[in-house]
Structure 1
Amino acid sequence: MTTAVPASAARRSPAPRLQLVGERPPGAFADRADGARVGYLVFLPAHVDPVALMEAHGIRPEIHPLEPVALPARGPEPVPRAEPEQSADAIRVDRDRRVVEVDGRELDLTYLEFDLLAHLVGNPYTVHTRDSLISGIWGYGHIGDGRTVDVHVARLRRKLGPALRNRISTVRRVGYKYVPDTR
């Protein structure tokens, strides 16, 4: 819970005040009966010492220094690809430039259409459920249903044209898969 302090009140009191809002009474430990801990995020001006402020209000600060974590060794930086991956398939996806080429011509795709097609092309023969596509492409928490995926697949098929539209195959009552050219 956050409570806004009026600007006029903030200007009147020169000393910062600390007020915790929650189920815990002042001075009680942060441990709960179920073993979980409660934490608070407190914003203070840069010149205020948080430990001194907490002690002045009767709160015992718990300070746990972080142990240094060894970061994995980084190899050489990958060199960006200038050209899309060459393949025998007529549909080529260049993720770096966010471009899809079909038989040498560039498709005009929306942001989500590109992400959907790139995901399908990048995982050929894998059946993707509508729900997995919604969470993977649109993101967690997207409000929508399987019809959203169906509409975007229909638009992609239309943009791919009659010769290539069957590359995005429907798996009835499940979802979609990408089937590359098998010539």
Structure 2
Amino acid sequence: MKLILLFFLSASCLTQAQNTISFEEGMMSPPATLSDITWLSGHWKGEAFGGIAEEIWSPATSKSMMFSFRLIDKGEISFYEFGHLIEVDGTLLLQLKHFDGNLSGWEEKDENIDFKLVKVEGDKFYFDDFTIEKVSDNEVNMYVEVSEEEGKSNEVTFNYHRQ
């Protein structure tokens, strides 16, 4: 339930699924390195449901780009995410964990959420139901496919600008 809430809170608008792809059984992730996505490094902000969404991505070091995320709503921290984009076996893997505003973890201690790379098209990186797209040097879009309780799914989009 918290994961569904996360994606709805992180998104700024709902759209039909057009920018996400699911990783299917038997698929292989394409070759990729962090040097292919160095443009993501930096401080990004956007609006989400009347609040402020903020992400900070570190430069790539030791085959890892670390990131932090927070959503501020009505002057309060709604939740945080901490994670990294790492090079594994010649491709990229996005991993993250969620935390409440008081830093209580959502996932179990040894658990995280993994997004395997599905494909790369120019400056658009398709992970499993999560896509990162460079719009310009100062703007990125992120798309996430989420499941609703009725079994339906929707793609949510949020837009960031470099700070």
| TM range, smaller chain | under 0.3
- Greater relative contact order structure (CA < 8 Å, 6+ sep): 2
| TM-score of the aligned structures, taking structure 1 as reference length | 0.19
Q: TM-score when scaled to structure 2?
A: 0.20
Q: Which has the higher strand share?
A: 2
